[in-house]
């Protein structure tokens, strides 16, 4: 299953005309905006549907500045750039129910599983003018009316999450772990009440922020058993992208970090620590990566490592938007990372075997599919497979490096067909006696037919 994140969907408004439905995003930063026109028949729909089942996290940076125009809420302002505002340089904004209807049409047509992030700071106040600590109990009324509307329309929500990046020191705002635990109990009780007649109730997720051992442990202790179904944390282990001057400054070391396996492996401690927090304080829940992009507003994932440490879900930045999307923000053409994500979705399983040189990242997933990522820019790795019973040829899918937006799969350019379909991802058939060669800065998916791995046969 591909885990994707649709960031800032709540920060857009809907305009309709007689020929098409247009969705224009009113939250445009880093000189980037996107819109969706006639999505039912667009590249956006077709490319997204290829990931079926698709998981979308609807929320993001401005979630805790968003109100829902339903019930007693009558004013519905658009987000506006305002650098005098401490939180992300944007004013508060609103999502209309017409916009929500439009989004759900897309969700239904793509078979998406939806995680919706609720405003956790509704009517809360910062402790003082210069403090990032927000205090007070969560006001559930606007979220309650939103849920009632969602239920009345028959829209399916896989999970609700409370707030975005409010844990520990937070991002421009934070909530104490004890308060957040109490607020999550309120959300859980609200969902149980409104969805009482549903056999499959939405899951409760949280906190959707950066991991801090003491904060997460206290949150689990306060919320207690049976409240949190998914313990969500965010991963941006590469720091800031070069252009992120507004938030984190210029970081010229970003590219070298991407190619440094020892730097990348540092994040393993976070995955390990959150697994230990769950084991000790919340064995009823499971770890989720709720948002990840490697670098802020950039690309990169840790799918194999997350699987190694028993993470149930991985939501990556981003389907579309910003500078890191799987899809181009104006043409909806697939960016290079799209096909890597699609091949992972189609080929990789849930059990992981991992052993290799630090410069050759290898993840062997049962059935058995081996993903080999060569992080060296000068060394070709030759990998031999040994299995006395393996008499079948293997399928090799190689994606060599390029310096443009075109992706080569076994030397064949990948482009949408004339009928707007995803091209066939045809592997190269290779003898089991031949080694697997992984060129510099490239990666290979190798499907080993008839490979008898004991770890894959156990229950």
Active site members: 165, 291
Pairing relationship of beta strands 381-383 and 295-296 according to DSSP bridges: unpaired
293 backbone dihedrals φ, ψ, rounded to 5° = -145, 10
- CB burial of 135-171 (b: ≥16 within 10 Å; e: otherwise) equals eeebbbebbbbbbebbeeeebebbbbbbbbbbbbebb
For residue 411, with 0-12 CB atoms within 10 Å meaning exposed, 13-18 middle and 19 or more buried, which class applies? exposed
Closest CA to 371 of 450, 446, 268: 446
Joined together, the tokens standing for residue 356 give 């290799």
> Residue 69 to residues 10, 72, 92, 93, 142: CA-CA distances in angstroms?
11, 8, 13, 10, 8
Contact (CB, 8 A) for 34 and 11: no
The DSSP line for 187-225 is HHHHHHHHTTT-SSPPEEEEEEE---HHHHHHHHHHH-T
Cα–Cα dist 249/125, whole Å: 28
Cα–Cα dist 218/277, whole Å: 10
In 3-state terms, the chain is what percent helix, strand and coil (to 5)? 25, 25, 45
CA 158 to chain centroid: 15
Contact (CB, 8 A) for 126 and 132: yes
Closest CA to 13 of 23, 3, 4: 23
Cα–Cα dist 446/171, whole Å: 40
Contact (CB, 8 A) for 427 and 410: yes
Cα 270–Cα 373–Cα 311 angle in degrees, nearest 5: 30
Q: Is cis: bond before 79, omega within 30 of 0?
A: no
């Amino acid at each position: 299953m591909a885990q994707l994140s649709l960031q800032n969907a709540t920060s857009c408004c809907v305009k309709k005309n007689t020929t098409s439905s247009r969705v224009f995003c009113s939250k445009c930063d880093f000189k980037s905006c996107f819109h969706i026109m006639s999505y039912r028949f667009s590249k956006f729909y077709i490319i997204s549907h290829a990931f079926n089942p698709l998981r979308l996290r609807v929320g993001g940076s401005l979630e805790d500045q968003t109100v829902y125009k339903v019930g007693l809420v009558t004013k519905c302002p658009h987000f506006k750039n305002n650098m005098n505002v401490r939180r992300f340089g944007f004013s508060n904004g609103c999502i209309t129910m017409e916009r929500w209807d439009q989004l759900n049409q897309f969700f239904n047509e793509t078979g998406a599983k939806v995680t919706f992030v609720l405003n956790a700071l509704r009517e809360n106040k910062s402790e003082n003018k210069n403090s990032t600590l927000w205090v007070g109990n969560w006001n559930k009324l606007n979220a309650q009316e939103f849920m009632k509307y969602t239920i009345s329309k028959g829209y399916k929500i896989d999970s609700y999450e409370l707030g975005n990046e409010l844990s520990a020191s937070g991002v421009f705002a934070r909530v104490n772990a004890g308060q957040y635990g109490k607020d999550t109990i309120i959300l859980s009780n609200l969902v149980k009440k409104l969805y009482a007649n549903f056999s499959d109730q939405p899951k409760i997720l949280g906190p959707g922020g950066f991991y801090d051992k003491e904060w997460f442990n206290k949150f689990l202790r306060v919320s207690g058993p049976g409240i949190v179904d998914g313990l969500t944390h965010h991963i941006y282990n590469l720091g800031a992208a070069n252009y992120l001057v507004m938030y984190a400054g210029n970081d010229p070391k970003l590219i070298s970090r991407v190619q440094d396996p020892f730097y990348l492996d540092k994040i393993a401690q976070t995955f390990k620590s959150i697994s230990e927090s769950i084991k000790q304080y919340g064995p009823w829940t499971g770890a989720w990566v709720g948002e990840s992009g490697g670098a802020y507003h950039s690309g990169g994932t840790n799918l194999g490592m997350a699987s190694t440490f028993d993470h149930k879900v991985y939501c990556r930045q981003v389907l579309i938007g910003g500078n890191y999307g799987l899809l181009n923000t104006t043409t909806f053409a697939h960016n290079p990372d799209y096909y890597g994500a699609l091949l992972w979705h189609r080929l990789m399983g849930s059990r992981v075997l991992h052993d290799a040189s630090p410069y050759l990242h290898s993840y062997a997933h049962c059935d058995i599919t081996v993903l080999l990522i060569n992080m060296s820019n000068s060394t070709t790795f030759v990998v031999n497979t040994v299995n006395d019973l393996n008499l079948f040829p293997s399928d090799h899918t190689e994606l060599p490096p390029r310096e443009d937006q075109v992706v080569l799969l076994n030397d064949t350019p990948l482009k949408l067909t004339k009928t707007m379909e995803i091209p066939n991802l045809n592997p190269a058939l290779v003898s089991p006696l031949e080694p697997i060669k992984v060129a510099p800065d490239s990666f290979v998916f190798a499907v080993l037919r008839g490979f008898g791995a004991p770890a894959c046969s156990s229950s």
